[in-house]
Amino acid sequence: GALLAGGMAPTGATDNSPTSNSLEGGTDATAYWWGEWTKWTACSRSCGAGVTSQERHCLQQRRTSVLGAGNRTCTGTSKRYQLCRVQECPPDGRSFREEQCISFNSRVYDGRTHQWKPLYPDDYVHISSKPCDLHCTTADGQRQLMVPARDGTSCKLTDLRGVCVSGKCEPIGCDGVLFSTHTLDKCGVCQGDGSSCTHVTGNYRKGNAHLGYSLVTHIPAGARDIQIVERKKSADVLALADEAGYYFFNGNFKVDSPKNFNIAGTVVKYRRPMDVYETGIEYIVAQGPTNQGLNVMVWNQNGKSPSITFEYTLLQPPRCWAS
């Protein structure tokens, strides 16, 4: 079912001065009241959290008597929103931004049509103050256009998921409610206090490091906010394997390119300098939670002592009290 937005209109997304919906020339001898809400509009998306809205108008009527005049305006909001079609979209389908850009393919510009695509990838974090502007570009990159993104287009807020509503990026809380600012705590609990998990930290510094692969640490299933960092420039290479010894990357004495990997039910981001002589650090990060145990490995290529730190968060098991 759809999730109600609490009846409040977002700041800036609707005119909250209902007198603008009223007839001109009201006086103290005028009564004001809200008309009925309209039906909810069609959902702006077929999947991935669209937006639907309904509105009402402030009505007025002149009174024949000046005695006991009513309110000067209707109180409340003239438009309200809620989420709809919140189920995830198929992973191999077009993104909503792609669909919007493609919709311009039939338009004629400069005497001809063009093939349009988003200028930025979907996970691009906009530095601009207008994350709900849709930027499209032609396949050859020669032309660009910018229009307001449709309601329901995903956008990025600091630590909350966002969605575009009337051109403004509005939050969706961890409770799945539009305009909610409820956030996950470090344990992944919505509006939690952080007391239901343990933060594990450690470091790996072997004085007599041997060549080849060594275990840095084992990360259990259910881990969140994983971070493994090689703290100094070295020829060492971080690698990740499952508990059976299968390497996801940098195994079998081969170095993989730094990129994102889908591992253990989460996205694992592996980054390192392209040249070991460059400044910069090698690291592995993943948001989690993981659905299997992982072994963090280091491939030592020159026998020098590595300096690796690791940290992750684990939910605490429920306590059992003896009777």
> Whole-prediction pTM value?
0.62
Please tell me the predicted confidence (pLDDT) of residue 2.
35
pLDDT at 127: 55
Q: Which domains does the chain have, with CATH numbers?
A: 1-89 (2.20.100.10), 96-172 (no CATH), 197-315 (2.60.120.830)
Q: What is the mean pLDDT of residues 205-227?
A: 88
186 DSSP 8-state letter: T
Residue 160, pLDDT score? 82
The mean pLDDT of 93-119, rounded to a whole number, is 92
Which of 240 and 31 is assigned the larger pLDDT? 240
Cβ proximity of 310 and 216 under 8 Å: yes
* Per-residue pLDDT band at 313 (split at 50, 70, 90): very high
Quote the pLDDT of residue 8: 37
133-138 and 50-55 strand pairing: unpaired
What integer pLDDT is reported at residue 261 of this predicted model?
Answer: 95
* pLDDT tens digits, 69-102: 455 689 999 999 999 999 989 878 899 999 999 9
Kindly report, residue by residue over 38-74, the tens digit of the pLDDT.
Answer: 999 999 999 999 999 999 999 988 765 444 445 568 9
DSSP class per residue in 39-94: PPPPPS-SSS-EEEEEE--EEEEE-S--TT---SS--S-SEEEEEE--SPPPTTSP
pLDDT for the residue 71:
58
Distance CA(117)–CA(96), nearest Å, equals 11
Show the DSSP H helices in the chain as ranges: 96-102
Predicted confidence (pLDDT) at residue 187 exceeds the cutoff of 90: no
Kindly state the average pLDDT of the residues 4-17: 37
Of all residues in the chain, the percent with pLDDT exceeding 70 is: 80
